[in-house]
Every structure is written in C-alpha cells, then in structure tokens.
Structure 1
Amino acid sequence: MGLLASVTEPDIRRHLLRDEGEVIVDEVRKHWVAYVRAVLELVLGLAILVSVPFLDPDLAWLPLLLGFGVLAHAGWKALHARMDRFVITNMRVFRLHGVLAQQLATMPLSRILDITVAKPLTGRVLGYGHFIFESAAQEQGLRDIRFVGRPDDRDLAIQRVVQRSGLRGPRVVN
C-alpha cells in the first residue's frame, strides 16, 4: 500500500478474523452522490480564487484565504466520504469510518433482525439508497448506512450470507 493509499484508504483487512475463517463478501464504498457537496464546495473555492486577481490588491488576501479555506473543507468532506466503508463478511457486517480518529461498528449476522432499504426518488433514479438496521440493541453505530450504491443487490448479498450461515433456519422447498 503506497503512502497516498495509506492515508485515503481504510485498512479493512486488519479488522478481519482470519484465524476464524472470516472473508469479505462485499466492501461497500459510498455512492458518487455522497461527493456532490464536496465537488460543489470545490467549484465555489475555485471561483473565489479566480476572482482574486480582479480585486483590490490590498484586500485580495481575504478572498484568497477564504478560497483556500473552502478548498480545504471540500477536500476534508471528500476524504471523509472516501474513508467511510461498510463491509459484509461471512460472519458479520461492520462499518469503518473516520479520517483522523476511526470508529468501527460491528454487528454479528445473528443480531440482524430487520434491514430497511430506503430509496428516495433521487436514489431510485441515480442507483443509491440507505440501509437502516434493526437489532435487539436499538442504538448502535451501525443503524444507518447512507449512500449505498446498488442497495437491492447489497441487501440480497446480506440475506444470502445470513441464509447460508444457517441463522434463519432451513429453506423450505415445495
């Protein structure tokens, strides 16, 4: 892993229980829609910087500072979205997020009672949705997973893993 990747990519494999046979079924990155706000801020910051040569030289430092501040915030928002990962394994689901301080929220497959897939109108058009997990412990760090690309496919992947693990009982075939 290169220097840039070590800063911009979370180390998912480090959190796997390899000695227990845990393998990744799906690693979910944020849908591109999650980056729209950061891109809009980037455009705003660039517009502010482009306007600097047309301003009074004595006051140009203020828009220059503001432009760089907006660009830095846009970069931070983009990095925050990039570092947020939702992972489905054969034993559990977990979410790793955070840039400087990282948080890991884990839920064993046996504790998943219900998954709600919320797809707003824009999500239906652009191909993203939000997962809402229900478990016996209602308030956990894994309740809301936002901006999941191909949410129906990801939901089916979770259901398949739960079924294959034998947690829902045997399949009934007529």
Structure 2
Amino acid sequence: MGGLYEPDGPEEPGRRERDTEPIPRTRSEAHSSSDDDTFVGRAHVGANVGGGSGGGGGGSYDAPDYDDLPEISAEELAGLGSDGPISVGPRRVLPLADEPSSLVARYLFPTERYRGEWRKHWIHLTNHILVGAVATLVLGYLTGFLAKNTIPGLSIIAVVVYALIMGWVAWSVADWYFDRFILTNKRVMVVKGLITRDVAMMPLLRVTDMKYQQSPLGRMLNYGTFVLESAGQDQALREVKNLPNPNELYLRVVEEMYEPAAVEARLGKDDEGDG
C-alpha cells in the first residue's frame, strides 16, 4: 500500500533526522518520566540541532554535560523547610517559658498569665568587672613594692581597700542576678534589690507608646534600652536599660498588647504538641 512506510525502500533525504526526533510529551508524561530519560532526551535533541544535515544551519551547538551537575540529597533540601535552619515562612518568636522563678512567682496573682522574665545583659557589669581587675593589678604592684620597702600599716590598708572593692563587685554581680524584667498578659514589671526590694510595674492597657534604642555597641552585642510611655504621665517604670535580645522582647510585648489571642493560640498548640 502506498500510504505505509517501507523499511526496505529508498530513504528520502532528511527522513532519518525526522524519525530520530523525540516525540512531544504531555505535561503529565513529562513529570512522570525519570531524570535519566530527561537528560538523554535533551542530549539527543542537542546533538540533532548541532549535527543534523537536513536543517541546513551553519552554526554548531555543544550539548551541555548533565553528568557534571551537582546532586542534592533529600537531607539538604529538608533544611529549607519551616523547621530547618533556614526559615522561609513568617518570623517566629522564641518559645515562651512555662513557669516563673521563685523570685518572680511571689509577685504574680493567680489569674495572671506569666510570659517570661529576663536578666539584664552582661554589659551591665562591665564597669564593675573593670574596677575589680584594676584593683587586682594595683594590689599586685603594691605587693611587689612592699616586698622591697617596709612601710608600717601600708600593707594592711591595701588589703582592706582591695577587700572593700571586691566586696562591692560581688554585691553588684548578685544585684544583677536578682534584677529581672517580667512580662505577663496584664503588665510589665521590674524587680530589683537584695536587701531593699524595689518592684515597679505598668499595666499593658496604660502603655501608649513603647520603643527600644540600640547604640552601635548594643547592635553588635544584642542589647538595648526600653522606653515606655503612659499617657504623658510620670511612672515608676519608664526606662529599662541593658535588656538582652531587644527585638525579640519588643515583639513579645507588642504581641501581648495587640494580639493576645495569637499568644494564647500559640501556647495552646505548644501544649498539644507536648502532649
């Protein structure tokens, strides 16, 4: 029959090139095919474009070497998920603490929901530690000086002064340890003091403006100063210096002020996940 292809008959010019071209695939077939078949098909088309005699083109084309492409494992791709080190979703705040410390729990009433407490950044102790270090160096110098020269009473005075300075440094460190900034669903608080205790608080409903400030050093070491305004009036808690992670803390306070339902929902999900 004249319409059928005869393999033993004479070949027409360009028939071989047309017969070896890949058959177009549908979208579903293309997705279901393996990666090896896709690479072979691309390389085959590239070879026909560059060396085909029926096309009449004068240029040459080098097919890319797909064997040199890097392989990406499933573990590497898993890092791009929302739970991996690279977050592609919305920013999420750190998990909330479950229970207040014994120092803070005594100042919370039963229906108040605890959100977290923070000590001041270690930069708060820089001056105290420097004074202690300088005092230690001076005492070492005096010890060497007194070893060569006997001066009555000077060694006793030096030791007493050094003990007083180091006692002041130890007191400052202990005071820093017990100094806390506290956030609940009702208010923000500052508790400080060892012998005399100072407790200051401001209801969240009365906060009309809040901001935090960071110096260049504060941006490098991740600390800042919080400024709270309350209807233009003077209040006991207005400026809190040297708080760590100011951006994280700022988001915590703002979310508690404007989206308390979102906080409760996140806490509910965390409780379900732990159960």
TM over 0.5: yes
Greater CA deviation, 78-87 or 47-56? 47-56
Alignment counterpart, residue 64 of structure 1, candidates 142, 147, 159: 159
Question: What residue in structure 2 maps to residue 110 of structure 1?
Answer: 205
Distance 2:218 2:254 in 1: 21
Distance 2:128 2:105 in 1: 28
Question: What residue in structure 2 maps to residue 42 of structure 1?
Answer: 132
| Aligned residue type for 1:156 | L
What's the offset of the Cα at 1:51? 3.4
Give the strand-richer structure, 1 or 2: 1
2:117 matches 1:13: no
Equivalent residues in 2 for 1:49-128 (5 A)? 49-54=139-144, 55=146, 56=150, 58=152, 59-128=154-223
Alignment counterpart, residue 164 of structure 1, candidates 259, 262, 269: 259
Decide whether the 8 Å contact of 1:87 with 1:94 is kept in 2.
Answer: yes
Question: What residue in structure 2 maps to residue 146 of structure 1?
Answer: 241
Question: What residue in structure 2 maps to residue 172 of structure 1?
Answer: none
Distance 1:146 1:65 in 2: 33
What's the offset of the Cα at 1:73? 1.3
| Cα displacement string for residues 57-103 of structure 1 (whole angstroms, at most 9, x for unaligned residues) | 52211111111111111112222222211101111111111121111
What's the offset of the Cα at 1:52? 4.4
| Aligned residue type for 1:74 | V
Question: What residue in structure 1 maps to residue 13 of structure 2?
Answer: none
Distance 1:137 1:16 in 2: 27
Question: What residue in structure 2 maps to residue 170 of structure 1?
Answer: none
Distance 1:47 1:104 in 2: 38
Question: What residue in structure 1 maps to residue 225 of structure 2?
Answer: 130
Question: What residue in structure 1 maps to residue 76 of structure 2?
Answer: none
Question: How many residues are matched?
Answer: 156
| Aligned residue type for 2:208 | L
Distance 2:196 2:109 in 1: 22
What's the offset of the Cα at 1:137? 5.7
Question: What residue in structure 2 maps to residue 169 of structure 1?
Answer: none
Structure 1 unaligned blocks of 5 or more: 1-8, 167-174
Distance 2:257 2:191 in 1: 21
Question: What is the aligned-residue identity percentage?
Answer: 27
Decide whether the 8 Å contact of 1:45 with 1:68 is kept in 2.
Answer: no
Distance 1:41 1:76 in 2: 13
Larger Rg: 2
What's the offset of the Cα at 1:10? 7.2
> TM-score, normalised on structure 2?
0.53
Distance 2:167 2:135 in 1: 9
| Aligned residue type for 2:139 | L
Distance 1:99 1:137 in 2: 31
List structure 1 segments (4+ residues) > 3 angstroms apart after TM superposition.
none
